[in-house]
Protein backbone atom coordinates (compact mmCIF):
# COMPACT_ATOMS: atom_id res chain seq x y z
CA UNK A 1 0.00 0.00 0.00
CA UNK A 2 0.91 3.65 -0.20
CA UNK A 3 3.42 5.02 2.33
CA UNK A 4 2.92 8.45 3.90
CA UNK A 5 5.87 10.05 5.66
CA UNK A 6 5.69 13.26 7.63
CA UNK A 7 8.58 15.40 8.78
CA UNK A 8 9.87 16.51 11.14
CA UNK A 9 8.31 14.19 13.73
CA UNK A 10 8.50 16.88 16.42
CA UNK A 11 8.71 20.64 16.20
CA UNK A 12 9.10 23.23 18.96
CA UNK A 13 8.47 26.87 18.15
CA UNK A 14 8.41 30.16 19.96
CA UNK A 15 5.12 32.00 19.63
CA UNK A 16 5.17 34.20 16.55
CA UNK A 17 7.53 32.00 14.55
CA UNK A 18 6.74 30.47 11.16
CA UNK A 19 6.98 26.77 10.30
CA UNK A 20 6.73 24.33 7.41
CA UNK A 21 5.44 20.78 7.84
CA UNK A 22 6.09 18.26 5.10
CA UNK A 23 4.19 15.22 3.85
CA UNK A 24 5.75 12.83 1.30
CA UNK A 25 3.80 9.99 -0.29
CA UNK A 26 5.09 7.01 -2.23
CA UNK A 27 2.60 6.92 -5.10
CA UNK A 28 0.12 9.11 -6.93
CA UNK A 29 -2.91 10.19 -4.92
CA UNK A 30 -6.46 11.24 -5.67
CA UNK A 31 -7.04 13.23 -2.50
CA UNK A 32 -4.98 14.72 0.30
CA UNK A 33 -6.22 16.18 3.56
CA UNK A 34 -4.42 17.96 6.39
CA UNK A 35 -5.79 17.67 9.93
CA UNK A 36 -4.97 19.16 13.32
CA UNK A 37 -5.60 16.84 16.25
CA UNK A 38 -6.29 18.73 19.44
CA UNK A 39 -5.32 17.45 22.92
CA UNK A 40 -8.76 15.83 23.31
CA UNK A 41 -8.29 13.76 20.15
CA UNK A 42 -10.59 15.61 17.78
CA UNK A 43 -9.35 15.72 14.19
CA UNK A 44 -10.04 19.16 12.76
CA UNK A 45 -10.07 19.61 9.00
CA UNK A 46 -7.52 22.12 7.79
CA UNK A 47 -7.30 21.56 4.05
CA UNK A 48 -8.69 19.29 1.35
CA UNK A 49 -5.98 19.74 -1.26
CA UNK A 50 -5.27 17.02 -3.86
CA UNK A 51 -3.25 19.60 -5.81
CA UNK A 52 -2.46 23.29 -5.89
CA UNK A 53 -2.32 25.89 -3.14
CA UNK A 54 -4.92 27.01 -0.61
CA UNK A 55 -4.86 29.55 2.19
CA UNK A 56 -6.96 29.95 5.29
CA UNK A 57 -5.88 32.76 7.57
CA UNK A 58 -2.42 32.06 8.97
CA UNK A 59 -2.35 28.61 7.43
CA UNK A 60 -1.66 27.66 3.85
CA UNK A 61 -0.98 24.40 2.05
CA UNK A 62 0.57 23.36 -1.22
CA UNK A 63 0.38 19.95 -2.84
CA UNK A 64 2.67 19.10 -5.76
CA UNK A 65 1.09 15.86 -6.85
CA UNK A 66 3.59 15.16 -9.64
CA UNK A 67 6.46 15.26 -7.11
CA UNK A 68 4.47 13.43 -4.42
CA UNK A 69 4.61 15.88 -1.56
CA UNK A 70 2.52 18.43 0.29
CA UNK A 71 3.55 21.28 2.59
CA UNK A 72 1.60 22.94 5.38
CA UNK A 73 2.74 26.45 6.32
CA UNK A 74 1.91 28.01 9.66
CA UNK A 75 2.73 31.69 10.02
CA UNK A 76 2.86 33.75 13.22
CA UNK A 77 2.29 30.63 15.32
CA UNK A 78 0.15 30.78 18.46
CA UNK A 79 0.03 28.50 21.49
CA UNK A 80 -3.35 27.26 20.28
CA UNK A 81 -1.61 25.82 17.20
CA UNK A 82 -0.02 23.17 19.42
CA UNK A 83 -1.07 19.59 18.77
CA UNK A 84 -0.49 16.87 16.21
CA UNK A 85 -0.76 17.55 12.49
CA UNK A 86 -1.70 14.68 10.19
CA UNK A 87 -1.52 14.32 6.47
CA UNK A 88 -3.86 11.70 4.96
CA UNK A 89 -4.15 10.56 1.36
CA UNK A 90 -6.45 8.59 -0.90
CA UNK A 91 -4.51 6.32 -3.26
CA UNK A 92 -7.29 4.40 -4.97
CA UNK A 93 -10.72 5.79 -5.68
CA UNK A 94 -13.45 3.44 -4.54
CA UNK A 95 -16.51 4.18 -6.64
CA UNK A 96 -18.90 2.19 -4.44
CA UNK A 97 -18.93 4.85 -1.73
CA UNK A 98 -16.02 7.02 -0.61
CA UNK A 99 -12.35 6.10 -0.45
CA UNK A 100 -10.29 5.20 2.61
CA UNK A 101 -7.71 7.61 3.97
CA UNK A 102 -4.16 6.48 4.68
CA UNK A 103 -2.54 8.59 7.39
CA UNK A 104 1.03 9.49 8.20
CA UNK A 105 2.32 9.20 11.75
CA UNK A 106 1.85 12.89 12.41
CA UNK A 107 3.98 15.86 13.43
CA UNK A 108 3.81 17.00 17.05
CA UNK A 109 3.98 20.78 17.23
CA UNK A 110 4.59 22.63 20.50
CA UNK A 111 4.31 26.42 20.47
CA UNK A 112 5.82 28.05 23.55
CA UNK A 113 4.68 31.47 24.84
Partner 1 sequence: DAGVTQSPTHLIKTRGQQVTLRCSPKSGHDTVSWYQQALGQGPQFIFQYYEEEERQRGNFPDRFSGHQYPNYSSELNVNALLLGDSALYLCASSLAGGALEQFFGPGTRLTVL
Footprint on this chain of partner 1 (rule: CB under 8 A):
4, 30-31, 33, 35, 40-43, 45, 48, 50, 86, 88, 90, 93-106
Q: What are phi and psi of 92, to 5 degrees?
A: -115, 125
Q: Are 11 and 111 in contact (CB under 8 A)?
A: no
Smallest gap from Cβ 96 to partner 1, in A, equals 5
Give the C-alpha distances (Å, rounded to integers) separating 82 from 10, 15, 85: 11, 10, 9
End-to-end CA distance of the chain: 40
Smallest gap from Cβ 95 to partner 1, in A, equals 6
User: In this complex, which beta carbon is closest to partner 1, that of residue 14 or of residue 97?
Assistant: 97
Smallest gap from Cβ 46 to partner 1, in A, equals 11
Amino acid sequence: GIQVEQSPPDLILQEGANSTLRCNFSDSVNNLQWFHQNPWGQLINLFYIPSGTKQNGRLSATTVATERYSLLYISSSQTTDSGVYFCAVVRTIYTGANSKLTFGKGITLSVRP
